Amino acid sequence: MDDTTLLMIPGPTTVPKRVLDAMSQPIVNHRGAEYGEILGETTAMMSDVFQTDNPSYLLTGSGTSAMEAAIANIVEKGDKVINVVGGKFGQRLQQLTEVYGGESIEITVPWGHAVDPAEVKRVVEENDDAKALTLVHNESSTAVVNPIKEVGEIMKDYDTLFVVDTVSSLAGDNVKVQDYGLDICLTGSQKCIAAPPGMAAITVNDDAWNVIEKTNSPRYYLDLLKMKKSGEKQPAQTPYTPNVSMTYAMKEALTMVLEEGLDARIKRHHVGAEATRAAAQALGLELFANEGDYSNTLTAIKMPEGVTDDQLRGTMRNKYNIELAGGQDHLKGNVFRIGHMGLTGLFELSATFTCLEMTLKEFGFEFETGAGVAALEEVYLKN
Ligand code: PLP
């Protein structure tokens, strides 16, 4: 990969120069006042983006570290946890539940579909002793968005904690942690926030702290109580040495998110998603996700007959320097995915669809030249 490669994968996304430049600042003492101030400002912005008054914590680790922190701090041996599983990341939360000794009650959702809130209500009602319900907001393996607002409304009637993974949606789709009643919400740096990979964030409300304080589970590096204690120090700290450069990056990236404005940024992601779907369909391609359940931040497209994953994504990569993502697990070879998150917009999508058209033509597909780009243009013109 060279630095002209266009990353059209669902994270990591292209990182703006402002953020890269911020990372080149000198390293300071992570226990000193200067870092404390930067950390405090960054976590305050993180809470603004989560749309909660509760504090947020930065973790040195990828999104999965925050998934593990969420589970490790609330699940002890024998605890019942309801896991919504409709893709790879739903599955990961279930696996974590089991690793920490929890008994998983699975709500199985066919890949490509969103969970039905009525089904959640039925299962929570039947298992009102469950400690938590886990849900992935934006299931990146299937390009599906789950109805966290509607499920949050249901969960307000139960003591069961609502744990939501917004790794591939925060800052690109609506996530109102406090309004929706998300008890624990977590995210990653490298997706819609457009910072490099390697940092995660988590926010926890009072109901969740009550559970965490009483949970006797094996945890050390990911102990949220230690993060809370260090975060409350003056100057603010992290329990162990943080990734100082990544903190600078997150500070700059979150500043950019808030400068653009959350609503404007989410709208921009909506337009990119709509344009991507329109362009794909104009080329005769079929979307993988169920209509109405489409993700705002990435699109999964069925691999058309007559071309292999290696041929399609290989040509895009080797001839045009554009990286697309493949399918995961049983979708490997059957779908390819286009990320339209972070700062990705018309410029990147135009290049992607121009080259995708040329790739498909090379493998014998027929459509009017420029049909995909024309469809993109139409969506952008009306928005
Ligand atoms: N959750 C979702 C929805 C994701 O898309 C990802 C990564 O793609 C993760 C969790 C895991 O994040 P990471 O790969 O940063 O550990």
Ligand 1 lined by 188 (C-beta under 6 Å): yes
Residues 150-160 have a mean pLDDT of 98
Does residue 183 form part of some domain? Answer: yes
pLDDT band at 4 (very low <50, low <70, confident <90, very high): confident
Ligand 1 lined by 64 (C-beta under 6 Å): yes
Q: How far is the CA of 32 from the centre of ligand 1 (A)?
A: 32
> Are 54 and 37 found together in one domain?
yes
81 close to 75: Cβ distance less than 8 angstroms:
yes
Ligand 1 lined by 141 (C-beta under 6 Å): no
Does residue 244 form part of some domain? Answer: yes
Does residue 1 form part of some domain? Answer: no
HSE of 383, CA atoms in CB hemisphere, 13 A: 18
**How high is the pLDDT of residue 44?**
98
Asked if residue 78 has pLDDT above 60, the reply is yes
Asked if residue 292 has pLDDT above 60, the reply is yes
Ligand 1 lined by 47 (C-beta under 6 Å): no
Asked if residue 294 has pLDDT above 70, the reply is yes
Convert the pLDDT of each residue in 299-338 to its tens digit: 999 999 999 999 999 999 999 999 999 999 999 999 999 9
Domain assignment of residue 26, given as a range = 17-259
Convert the pLDDT of each residue in 50-68 to its tens digit: 999 999 999 999 999 999 9
> Are 22 and 84 found together in one domain?
yes
**How high is the pLDDT of residue 45?**
98
Asked if residue 3 has pLDDT above 70, the reply is no
Of 92, 13, 9, the residue nearest 300 (C-alpha): 9
Number of residues that make up the chain: 383
Number of domains composing the chain: 2
| Pocket perturbation via mutation, ligand 1, pick of 7, 71, 89 by most ligand atoms within 8 A of CB | 89
> Are 192 and 109 found together in one domain?
yes
130 close to 81: Cβ distance less than 8 angstroms:
yes
pLDDT band at 2 (very low <50, low <70, confident <90, very high): low
User: Which amino acid residue places its CA nearest to atom 6 of ligand 1?
Assistant: 167
Does residue 97 form part of some domain? Answer: yes
> Are 150 and 270 found together in one domain?
no
Query: What is the share, in percent, of the chain residues with pLDDT greater than 90?
Result: 99
Does residue 174 form part of some domain? Answer: yes
Ligand 1 lined by 35 (C-beta under 6 Å): no
Ligand 1 lined by 89 (C-beta under 6 Å): yes
Residues 231-249 have a mean pLDDT of 97
Does residue 76 form part of some domain? Answer: yes
- Pick the last residue of a domain from 238, 259, 280: 259
Convert the pLDDT of each residue in 249-267 to its tens digit: 999 999 999 999 999 999 9
Asked if residue 1 has pLDDT above 90, the reply is no
> Are 174 and 192 found together in one domain?
yes
User: Which amino acid residue places its CA nearest to atom 13 of ligand 1?
Assistant: 63
Q: What is the CATH number of the domain that holds 255?
A: 3.40.640.10
Which tokens belong to 71?
């589970």
> Are 219 and 278 found together in one domain?
no
Q: What are the DSSP calls for 301-345, one per residue?
A: EEPPTT--HHHHHHHHHHTT-EE-EE--GGGTTTEEEEE--TT--
Q: How far is the CA of 381 from the centre of ligand 1 (A)?
A: 33
> Are 230 and 369 found together in one domain?
no
Tell me what the pLDDT averaged over the chain comes to: 97
pLDDT band at 248 (very low <50, low <70, confident <90, very high): very high
Of 381, 375, 211, the residue nearest 281 (C-alpha): 375
Report phi then psi at 367, rounded to 5: -165, 165
> Are 72 and 200 found together in one domain?
yes
> Are 45 and 129 found together in one domain?
yes
**How high is the pLDDT of residue 216?**
95
Asked if residue 242 has pLDDT above 70, the reply is yes
**How high is the pLDDT of residue 160?**
98
Pairing, β 80-85 against β 132-136: parallel
> Are 282 and 320 found together in one domain?
yes
Asked if residue 237 has pLDDT above 60, the reply is yes
> Are 84 and 165 found together in one domain?
yes
Convert the pLDDT of each residue in 8-34 to its tens digit: 999 999 999 999 999 999 999 999 999
CA atoms of 117 and 149, how far apart (whole Å):
10
Ligand 1 lined by 62 (C-beta under 6 Å): yes
Q: What is the CATH number of the domain that holds 376?
A: 3.90.1150.10
User: Which amino acid residue places its CA nearest to atom 9 of ligand 1?
Assistant: 63
- Pick the last residue of a domain from 205, 228, 259: 259
Q: How far is the CA of 138 from the centre of ligand 1 (A)?
A: 10
Which region, left, alpha or beta, applies to residue 246 given φ > 0 means left and ψ of -120 to 50 means alpha? alpha
Atom of ligand 1 nearest to the CA of 141: 5
- Pick the last residue of a domain from 210, 230, 259: 259
Does residue 145 form part of some domain? Answer: yes
* Number of neighbours of residue 354 by Cβ within 10 angstroms: 17
HSE of 352, CA atoms in CB hemisphere, 13 A: 28
> Are 209 and 285 found together in one domain?
no
Residues 288-298 have a mean pLDDT of 98
Does residue 147 form part of some domain? Answer: yes
Cite the beta strand spans of the chain per DSSP E. Answer: 6-7, 56-60, 80-85, 103-108, 132-136, 138-139, 144-145, 161-165, 184-188, 199-204, 298-302, 322-323, 325-326, 335-339
Asked if residue 153 has pLDDT above 60, the reply is yes
